Amino acid sequence: MYRLFTAVDLPPEVAGRLAAMGFGLPGARWVPEEQLHLTLRFIGEVDGGRFKEIQAALDDVRAESFSLRLQGFGCFPPRGPARILWAGVEPTAPVAAIYRKVENVLVRQGLAEPEKRKFFPHVTIARLQGVPPAKLGNFLAGNNLYSSETFTVNQFHLYSSQLTNKGAIHYLEASYDLS
């Protein structure tokens, strides 16, 4: 079985600067620098045949390259104890457009069920468990002006993911160029 998702990679310098911010929150499990990405569509577990079909279907996604930057931080869920710390994405329109194209290809070809959750582009930087609210508030306030440099997105990728007791390990399965 393959656990699949599509994503946009961050340039190494952006990922490195973001990863360097990963301290000072007891109870935070920081995403390793090499695992930082912007998920477009989580597909889920599929067998080998379905994997090959998805890999081929994503060749039909047509989109133009675009500029992007990370800006600001926030948490999920919006109410109750925070479980995910994320970096925001600006502008969101080109990311949402490529998400819709990936979603349409997968659903139209019967390779995935329609996503029920609203798409909110972000980069997960930490998973939180029992983080003191005051410490989290201080982190968010102290980094509220965070903004990465602008970078060009000219590819998206299909990844498989293996869950381990230390977190997920991602494997690049295919890359798709944007025009």
In CATH, the architecture of 2-177 is: Alpha-Beta Complex (3.90)
Is residue 170 annotated as part of the catalytic site, yes or no?
no
Please give the C-alpha separations between residue 67 and each of 82, 85, 152, in angstroms, as whole numbers. 30, 23, 4
In angstroms, the CA 26 to CA 145 distance is 22
What are the start-end ranges of the E strands in the chain?
Answer: 2-9, 28-30, 37-46, 66-76, 84-90, 122-128, 151-153, 155-164, 167-177
pLDDT band at 155, cuts 50/70/90? very high
pTM for the whole structure: 0.92
pLDDT band at 92, cuts 50/70/90? very high
Give bridge partners of residue 88 from the DSSP assignment.
122
Give the residue-averaged pLDDT of 84-113: 94
With a pLDDT cut of 90, the percent of the chain lying above it is: 85
The active-site residue out of 14, 19, 28, 37 is 37
pLDDT at 167: 75
Please give the C-alpha separations between residue 68 and each of 87, 122, 154, in angstroms, as whole numbers. 13, 12, 11
The active-site residue out of 41, 101, 122, 157 is 122
pLDDT band at 24, cuts 50/70/90? confident
pLDDT at 169: 87
User: How do the domains of the chain map onto residue ranges?
Assistant: 2-177
Supply the mean pLDDT for the chain. Answer: 94
Q: Is the pLDDT of residue 26 over 90?
A: yes
pLDDT at 131: 94
Residue range 30-87, pLDDT digits in tens = 999 999 999 999 999 999 899 999 999 999 999 999 999 999 999 999 888 999 999 9
Please give the C-alpha separations between residue 109 and each of 16, 60, 67, 114, in angstroms, as whole numbers. 37, 11, 29, 11
- List of residues 6+ apart from 48 with CB closer than 8 A: 2
